[in-house]
Amino acid sequence: MIDNPIVSIIVVSYNNLDVLRGTLASLLHHVTGVSSEIILVDNASHEPIVESIQKEFPQILIVANKHNLGFGAANNIGARIARGEYLLFVNSDVILKGNPVQDMIKIFVQNPHAGIVGCQLFNMDGTLQPSYFRFPSIRMRFIQLSGLKTLILKIYPRLRFKYSETLELDFVSGAFFMINRLFFYDIHCFDDRYFMYLEDADLGYQVKRKGKRSLLFQTRDVIHIGMNYEAMNNPFVLFHMNDGYLKFFSKNYGAWKYFTMITMSLLLFSVKMIFTVLHENGTRERQQIKRLLSIYYRALFNRSYGSVSTLKRSAN
């Protein structure tokens, strides 16, 4: 165990052992020049993650959850036992090709208003991956749910994302980012009510509320394997994505925006339902829409849907 690490690297795993091996190996190989520790939090994988990693990477500290607690909650567990001044949250499907860590720390030192520092992510083929985003809005949800987003990106493909110098933005991707450990607790960690999706947006919003900034460091050192757009149509993904939007709007925006977003979503999903009824092969999509409609109807009559968790978190 390293004494007094500067950076605590936290990785949450759920199956996919082969990819995880690559992630951990790249971290151990490239993160040099700064004292660090790696904490792996396994979310009750079916694969022999814990046994394999203990044998292959004995220097890594492992926490084995008995149940799949979700992305944010598992990261919070890792943060509780972290000893570093900075926390580096890394997805289990990220591969480093270089060492951006020292430069990320320099950004914090040189920018006292920096709350979070993320990195530009790349796909396996070397193309740019979305690494920063705007906070959710009613207009954004309309564009997404109406299908206009796909049309806009076809017409203006260059507007998807760009590579430039260090950026200040709303929030960075949760796949790879750094935050001061004490500040992480000051903003109450990840909100563990988000199982997956939008927890990074919520964290970025709390950073903004504290008067800090989210910054993106431009580097070509970070590859994120898992950005799979086809998976976005998976029922599990769709459910948790929409659930995340409901929680975010309820927690961070006023009642008007919350109920406007719900009403708009109900109308657009209802229109989609009509089209699936008219389409002979729309049975599967119809079932997905029914499930989404049900969570929006429940949220319509439950203003506390996204209320802040009463679980207290401490840095101890």
33, part of any domain:
yes
Largest alpha-carbon pair distance within the chain? 65
Whether residue 115 sits in one domain with residue 131 = yes
311, part of any domain:
no
Whether residue 168 sits in one domain with residue 270 = no
Answer yes or no: are the C-beta atoms of 64 and 18 closer than 8 Å.
no
Whether residue 144 sits in one domain with residue 21 = yes
Q: What is the pLDDT of residue 20?
A: 97
Domain boundary among the residues 182, 207, 224 is at 224
312, part of any domain:
no
Whether residue 263 sits in one domain with residue 215 = no
Whether residue 235 sits in one domain with residue 214 = no
The phi, psi pair for 40, rounded to 5°, reads -105, 125
Answer yes or no: are the C-beta atoms of 292 and 236 closer than 8 Å.
no
62, part of any domain:
yes
User: For residue 215, what is the domain's CATH number?
Assistant: 3.90.550.10
Domain boundary among the residues 224, 247, 276 is at 224
Range of the domain at 249: 231-305
Structural domain count, the chain: 2
1, part of any domain:
no
94, part of any domain:
yes
Query: Which residues have C-beta within 8 Å of that of residue 116, sequence separation ≥ 6?
Result: 171, 172, 177, 178, 179, 203, 204, 207, 212, 213, 214, 215
- The size of the chain, in residues, is 316
Whether residue 106 sits in one domain with residue 241 = no
Which segments of the chain have a pLDDT < 70? 1, 148-167, 227-233, 277-282, 303-316
Residue range 214-234, pLDDT digits in tens: 999 999 999 999 755 445 567
Question: Does pTM surpass 0.95?
Answer: no
Domain boundary among the residues 179, 199, 224 is at 224
Q: What is the pLDDT of residue 157?
A: 47
Whether residue 132 sits in one domain with residue 92 = yes
User: Which residue type occupies 66?
Assistant: K
Percentage of the chain beyond pLDDT 90 is 66
Whether residue 29 sits in one domain with residue 76 = yes
Residue range 167-214, pLDDT digits in tens: 678 999 999 999 999 999 999 999 999 998 899 999 999 999 999 999
Q: What is the pLDDT of residue 169?
A: 87
Q: What is the pLDDT of residue 28?
A: 97
Whether residue 149 sits in one domain with residue 278 = no
